[in-house]
Amino acid sequence: MKDIIDGFLRFQRDAFPTRKELFKRLATSQTPSALFISCSDSRMVPELVTQREPGDLFVIRNAGNIVPAYGPEPGGVSATVEYAVAALGVTDVVICGHSDCGAMTAIAKCKCLDHMPAVANWLRYSDSAKLVNEAIEHSSDRERVGSMVRENIVAQLNNIRTHPSVALALSQGRLTLHGWVYDIETGSIEALDSVTRRFVSLAEHPDVTATPNEYSVAA
């Protein structure tokens, strides 16, 4: 804990003064351009990976970067998605998984989670991805986990489209969806191409999106 407090003190002393005007503007309002949904994993830091400043991203982080399908029961993820899209008017939503994900590893390898019932229940929102992944032949456990990470991105993109605010924004052509997988070791990102349904290098295909063709806006 001492390291965390020391870090805050360095921020207050060194970093905050250099961004004083930025924080002054942010003190009374925010206008993030994107909602970034990622895993809670300590190795995945959205602002670092995307090199964004405070105020640029509206962020949701949870185990497995999961977005439950819309339903009548209240939930923090659903409420945050709705606020980002309906109130803040974000123009992009990124759902970003990552390599060596503990949640996806547990699903892919069918690890017993009886000692963590809350985690087990939460990961049920990835059941459709699990079913698809189990129907694919994998040459190794590493490939099985990597495939599960990607299939989970597809599943969560399907889930988020069931949210009324997202469905409306997509139908009006004012929202674009993105599905990413971040590789911790190499620092690279693969993005889901809605046309080919494949994950491709974001560096080589920076314009690729996961927005279905029927929602694409004509140029």
Mean per-residue pLDDT, 102-118? 94
pLDDT on residue 154:
97
Q: Using CA atoms, how far apart are residues 134 and 182, in angstroms rounded to an integer?
A: 22
Lowest-confidence region among 67-81, 141-155, 176-190, 191-205:
67-81
pLDDT on residue 74:
67
pLDDT tens digits, one per residue of 167-181: 999 999 999 999 999
Q: Using CA atoms, how far apart are residues 16 and 207, in angstroms rounded to an integer?
A: 34
| pLDDT greater than 70 at residue 93 | yes
Mean per-residue pLDDT, 200-217? 85
Mean per-residue pLDDT, 100-108? 95
Supply the mean pLDDT for the chain. 94
Query: Can you give the residue ranges of every domain in the chain?
Result: 31-186
Work out the end-to-end distance of the chain between its first and last CA atoms, rounded to an integer number of angstroms. Answer: 52
CB neighbourhood size of 83 (10 A): 14
Give the residue among 168, 160, 187 at the shortest CA–CA distance from 70: 160
CATH 3.40.1050.10 fits domain 31-186: yes
* H-helix segments, the chain: 2-10, 16-18, 20-26, 46-50, 76-82, 102-108, 117-122, 127-134, 141-160, 164-171
Q: Using CA atoms, how far apart are residues 45 and 149, in angstroms rounded to an integer?
A: 17
